[in-house]
A and B are shown apart, each in its own frame.
Chain A
Amino acid sequence: GQQLNQSPQSMFIQEGEDVSMNCTSSSIFNTWLWYKQDPGEGPVLLIALYKAGELTSNGRLTAQFGITRKDSFLNISASIPSDVGIYFCAGREGAYNTDKLIFGTGTRLQVFP
């Protein structure tokens, strides 16, 4: 199936550092979402983006919907140990919330104290 290209694949950072990851697509999306998945759990929604150029924050997390509608990035500021996990971007081509999502390849984040 189709997947979005997400980078970097993994990151090993020290507590307190900022993190940036991005997602690119060959097609245009109407919605970009960012999820976090802990081991053995389902993904949890972090941020949802609905308009090109939109910049949205959720605590220490900030995400933007690229102007071209083919990319998005997620920043995490002042990382803490509980930020450890796998971050997935997801995009939706359809116009309705019940349309399917396409997931990125994931960024595995490890935070060292």
Chain B
Amino acid sequence: AQKVTQAQTEISVVEKEDVTLDCVYETRDTTYYLFWYKQPPSGELVFLIRRNSFDEQNEISGRYSWNFQKSTSSFNFTITASQVVDSAVYFCALSSSNSGYALNFGKGTSLLVTP
């Protein structure tokens, strides 16, 4: 069975602070894919990143960075110098061939960035 855990339900930071969103996953598959999506109040899920299980390189995209560690089954997401526009719910998700590559989402972390 697959499981994604986002232990942080809500996080509140002041603008320009750095913030890390945690994601821990469980899977018996050796090949799998990890994702982060952002859900603003409009409801649409916005794709941020996909990482496969064989690529443990960290990735940076502007103010966003991701730390993938297979040893701890974690795929954490850091926003540097947060902005008010970063306020949203962020979801970590997992997929693999055993799930037909359907996305298995965590419960999400609600991030509030205040001025």
- Chains A and B come from one and the same complex: no
User: A interface vs B, CB < 8 Å?
Assistant: none
